[in-house]
Structure 1
Amino acid sequence: MASTNNTKGNGHPAPAEELPLPPPETETSLANQAIMLGETILTIQAGGTPVYGILQRSRAMTSQSDYFRLQFRGYAKAEGQHWVMLDGDDSRFHAVYNLAWVRVDRPSKTVTFGPKGGIQCSPGMTGSGLDTYLFANVINWAKGVCPEYAISPGMVSIGQPPTEDERVQKHAFYAGQAFQFEWQDPAQRTGLYFKDKVSKLLGVWNKDSVKEFGGEDMLKTLSGLDESRAELQAQMERLENAHESMSRALQKEKSTSQILTGVLILVALIAIWAVI
C-alpha cells in the first residue's frame, strides 16, 4: 500500500504550505452589522454661521474584521437670534455624504479608510471642515486599535477637470494627515494616497471650526440656562413689585389730588357765595 511521505530528502519534515488569506469583508456587509455606540452634538462654523448637528458612532466586529464608522446629521443653523432647521442631505444620515469609516482586516493586518471615493460633504457642509474632522477621528480610532498595521492605499477621483485650487486642496487634505499623495494621470483627476503604518498618521483638525458638545457641556449649558431663567424670573418679580408699588403710589397721589381739587372747588364756591 502506498504511503505519503511528507519529508524532504534530508529526512526533515517539509514545511506546511501557507493557506491563502481570506478576502477582506466588504464595508457594506460590515455596515449592515454595525451597532451604534453613541451620539455627540457638534457645532460647526459653516461660512461664519454656527451649524448644530448629531455625530453618530457605530462599530461592527467579526472574527476577521473591526469596522468603525462616523456619520453626521445636521439639525439647525443659527442666523442671528433665529434658528433655521436644515433639510435635504444636510439633515439626515446619508450613505454618501458626511461620513467616514475605517475597516481593519486582521488576517492581512491591514487598514482601509473610506469611503473609497473620498469623504464628501453635503452642500450645506462644504468648506466647513467637517470632512477633515471625520477623517481625523477615524484615523485616531485606528491609531488606538492597530497602530502597527499597514495601510491599504486609497484612490480618489475628481469628476470634472479640477481647477488648480481644487488640486491643491485635495493634495493638502491628505498631506495634512501625513499621507503621501500622488496624482495618477496627466490631467490630475485621479490620485492615490498611501502610508506604510497607521501609527505614522496624524489625526488632526481645526478645533475652532468643529467642536464637540459632550454630555458635560450640555449639562453645564442647561444649568446655565436654568440659572439665567431663574434670574430673569427674579427680575420680572422685582419689576412687577415695583410696578405695583408705583401703581399704588400713583393711585394714592390721584386720590389726594382729587381731594385737594374738591377742597379747592369748595373753597372757591364759598368765596363766591361770600361775595354775593
Structure 2
Amino acid sequence: MTDTQTSPDTSAEQEAPPAVELPWADVHAEHHRMLRLAPLKTDRNTGGRPLRFVEFGYAERNSKELSLMRLTIKLPGQRVRKEQNLLDVWVDHQTRRVHFGPDSGLQIEPLNRGIGRYLAAQGISWAKKRWPGYTVDGTDLNNKDALNEDTRLRRDHFLRAHGFEVAYADAQHLKGSVKEVKVGDLLADWNSEKLQQVEILEAAQMLQQAEHNLAEQEVKLKKHEEKVSKYKREDAGLRFTITCLVAFAVFQAGLLIWIATHR
C-alpha cells in the first residue's frame, strides 16, 4: 500500500494461486465528507497545487467471516480510472489477518496532496479500533517504483509513516518488501498541513463568507462603474468644450484675416 503504486512482482503473481473471489464487489460509498486540499507551492514533479475541494466517501460491510472498509476520493469535474483513489481494507476473521487492496496498489490522483496518507489513516484507524491484535499481511513491492529514486523514497516514506517496515534484499533497493505487522502497531496519521477535513457547519460558514465577499465585491464594482461613467460624462463634456473652443478660435482667426484683407 503506497500513494504511488505497490503490487507484487510479476513472477510472484504468476506463482500465486488463483485469487479467491471476494464479496461486496458492487459496494459504493454511502457516507461522505468534504476535504480541503491546501494551496501549496508548485512541485517540480507533480506540477501546480492550487486550493481544491474533494469528496471523501466510505462504506463498511461485515459478516462472520469477513469485514470490508471501502474508501474512495471523488474529484469534482474530473474523472479518474476505477482503480484510482480507491482503498479497500479487508479483514479475515478466520485467519485474523488484514489485507489492503486493491492488489494493483494505491493509485492516487492528484499526487502529492496528502490524499494517500489520509485514506490510509482512515483505514488503519478503522481496523485498530476493532482488531488491534490481527496481523497485516506482508507483500513484495513493485520493482517499477524503485526505478526512480524520488518515487521509491516517496513510497518508502509513505509506508514507514504509517508504521510499516520496509526491507530490501539487494543493495540497489530494487527487491523491496513490507513485513508483517500487528494492526495495533500501525499509525493513523496524515499531513494536516496538506489536507483538512471540512465539517458541514464549516462548509456552510465558508459559503456564507464567500457570499459576503462576493456582495462586497459587487458593491465595489458598482462604485467603480459609477466612477467610470462619471469620468466618461466629464470626458464627453470636455471634448465638446474643446471642440467649441477650437471652432470659435478658427472663426476668430478667419474673421481677423477677413478684416485685415478688406481694410
Alignment partner for residue 139 of structure 2, among 129, 133, 155?
155
Say what the alpha-carbon RMSD is for the aligned residues.
4.1
Q: How many residues align?
A: 233
What are the residue-to-residue correspondences of 1:1-276 with 2, within 5 Å?
28-33=22-27, 36-43=30-37, 47-50=46-49, 52=52, 53-75=54-76, 91-92=79-80, 94-95=82-83, 97-106=84-93, 110-115=96-101, 117=103, 119-122=105-108, 125-126=110-111, 129-143=114-128, 145-146=129-130, 148-160=132-144, 162=146, 165=149, 171-182=156-167, 189=175, 191-196=177-182, 198-257=183-242, 265=251, 269=255, 276=263
Contact 2:90–2:101 at 8 Å: present in 1 too?
A: no
Cα pair distance change 1:149/1:273, threshold 3 Å: same
Task: Give, in whole Å, the separation in 2 of the partners of 1:163 and 1:151.
Answer: 30
TM-score normalised by length of structure 1:
0.62
Report the 3-state secondary structure (helix = DSSP H, G, I; strand = E; otherwise coil) of the residue aligned with 1:66.
strand
Q: What are the ranges of 5 or more consecutive residues in structure 2 without an aligned counterpart?
A: 1-19
CA distances 1:151-200 after superposition (whole Å, capped 9, x unpaired): 2423233245945947665554333222344557998635243223x333
Task: Give, in whole Å, the separation in 2 of the partners of 1:162 and 1:63.
Answer: 39
Identical residues among aligned pairs (%):
16
TM-score normalised by length of structure 2:
0.65
Q: What are the ranges of 5 or more consecutive residues in structure 1 without an aligned counterpart?
A: 1-25, 77-85
CA distances 1:185-226 after superposition (whole Å, capped 9, x unpaired): 998635243223x33321112233344455445434433432
Task: Give, in whole Å, the separation in 2 of the partners of 1:195 and 1:235.
Answer: 60
Aligned to 1:14: none
Contact 1:157–1:189 at 8 Å: present in 2 too?
A: yes
2:70 partner letter? R
Task: Give, in whole Å, the separation in 1 of the partners of 2:253 and 2:152.
Answer: 98
Report the 3-state secondary structure (helix = DSSP H, G, I; strand = E; otherwise coil) of the residue aligned with 2:208.
helix
Cα offset, 1:114, TM superposition: 0.8
Cα offset, 1:138, TM superposition: 0.7
Q: Which moved more, 1:201-210 or 1:256-265?
A: 256-265
Cα pair distance change 1:184/1:67, threshold 3 Å: farther
Cα pair distance change 1:35/1:117, threshold 3 Å: closer
